[in-house]
Amino acid sequence: MKIIEKKREIRRAFRKAKNIFIMAHKNLDLDALGSSLGLAYVLNKQHKNCFLIINDKEHELGVKKVLQELEGCFHIITGEEISKNLYLRDKKNLLLILDTSKQKLLQEEKALDYFDKEQIIILDHHEIGDETIDVPLRVIDNEISSACEMVTNLIESYHIELDPYYATLLLAGMVLDTNNFTLKTDSETYYSAYFLSTMGASPKKVQYLLKQDIKAYMERQKLMTNVELIGNNIAIAKGSSYAIYRREDLAKIADTLLFFNDIELSFVVAKTSEKTTSISGRSLGKISVSSILEQLDGGGDKMGGATKFQNVPISKAVEKLKQVIKKEGEE
């Protein structure tokens, strides 16, 4: 469903609300944060009280930069602080969920307990699954590039002057999720980028936000030296059992693997903590990542996804992944 089809309904819900709580998925990235802040900026202009729910203790580099630059500019609360910030009249509260539609992936899983289903809006660009939160007003469009593109489409309908900083954040989220406009990109994506540029979005600032740590880059290069091919089109990179990587590093490696000849599907399996083995997957679209990772208690959409295991060695996680890939190939 296109967000434009629900534009009036969404705006009506915004008008009725007094306090609006905005929440994305755990382990924020620039798409989740950019869409949250872009929408919060617009809603603040509409004289709404906006609260960003963030439980994450650690942040990836780009997210950390933004939160430092905007310190004190928004009401950022933890999940435990929701109850004391609710408006006295219950019907005047609204929960807006961005960039995910699964309760287990939310910054605060218990947040749904404070709101009726009619007080929750979901804007997501991943595929609908069995665990998708069931609420009347949700826009889940897995054909669109990013949550930032969805929010940009909504902002356009307000016909307001968007501050260049927030236009830049929205553009950064789009660049991130499209891997610099190489994945899930169509004419509407380019138009949204154009619209943001007319609002003053800065490509140089986007580049700054997406800059990588050189030590982390070198570690990722080491991981790419251990790649196994399944057939001619599936690549699986495996980390050392002695190295711990960030979740976003696995995603970046999976993206990079798709640039090699014949590779249609890529997975990276590595430890993201002492007891956690994570898998990040990416696809060019011919093979669905979510159909594989959902069988491993993960999620995502056709183009990308992730899952993780507790107290499971890398070799065992790779074995489980191969079994599912084989099963999918036989069906």
Residue with tokens 């169509």: 186
* Domains 3-159 and 214-330 fall in the same CATH topology: no
Greatest extent of the chain over all pairs of C-alpha atoms, in Å = 60
Dist CA 1 CA 127 (whole Å): 11
Quote the pTM value.
0.84
Q: Which CATH superfamily is domain 3-159 in?
A: inorganic pyrophosphatase (n-terminal core) (3.90.1640.10)
pLDDT band for 10, please (50, 70, 90 cuts): very high
For residue range 30-70, list pLDDT tens digits in order.
999 999 999 999 999 999 999 999 999 989 889 999 999 99
Q: b/e string for 141-171 if b means 16 or more Cβ within 10 A?
A: beebbbbbbbbbbbbbeeeeebeebbbbbbb
Domain edges within the chain: 3-159, 214-330
Residue with tokens 């990542």: 289
- CATH dotted code for 214-330: 3.10.310.30
For residue range 67-89, list pLDDT tens digits in order.
999 999 999 999 999 999 999 88
Dist CA 102 CA 206 (whole Å): 28
For residue range 213-272, list pLDDT tens digits in order.
777 778 778 888 899 999 889 999 999 888 888 887 898 899 999 999 999 999 999 999
Task: List the one residue out of 108, 49, 111, 99 whose CA is nearest residue 74.
Answer: 49
Contacts (Cβ under 8 Å, ≥6 apart) of 242: none
